[in-house]
Amino acid sequence: MNRAMLKTMRAKKKRPVDPNAPPRPNLLSHDKKLRDQEMSHEELKREVYSLRDQLESLKIKLNTQDNLVSQLLSRLLRR
């Protein structure tokens, strides 16, 4: 057999483990982080839509009050 082939077939030595090293990330924890981020993103999106609706209703209310005040002012000035 070829020497290069024998070298690839040989079992590799295990690396020493550092006991102070943080745990290695795995796909499950990464998936959980992604799900949490998606959930927080959806919550923020809902809040933005809610605030947008509230802003629209307040704009309508302001316009209504502005019209009312201008009508009252015009009636007062006519007298």
pLDDT band at residue 1 using 50, 70 and 90 as cut-offs: low
The DSSP annotation for 10-57 comes to SPPPPPPPPTTSPPPP-HHHHHHHHHHHHHHHHHHHHHHHHHHHHHHH
3-state secondary structure of 2: coil
Mean pLDDT of the 1-27 span: 79
What is the mean pLDDT of the segment spanning 14-37? 85
DSSP state of 1: -
- Tell me the average pLDDT of the chain: 89
pLDDT at residue 13 is higher than 90: no
* pLDDT value at 37 more than 90: yes
What pLDDT score was predicted for residue 53?
Answer: 98
> Does 54 have pLDDT greater than 70?
yes
State the amino acid at position 1 in one-letter form. Answer: M
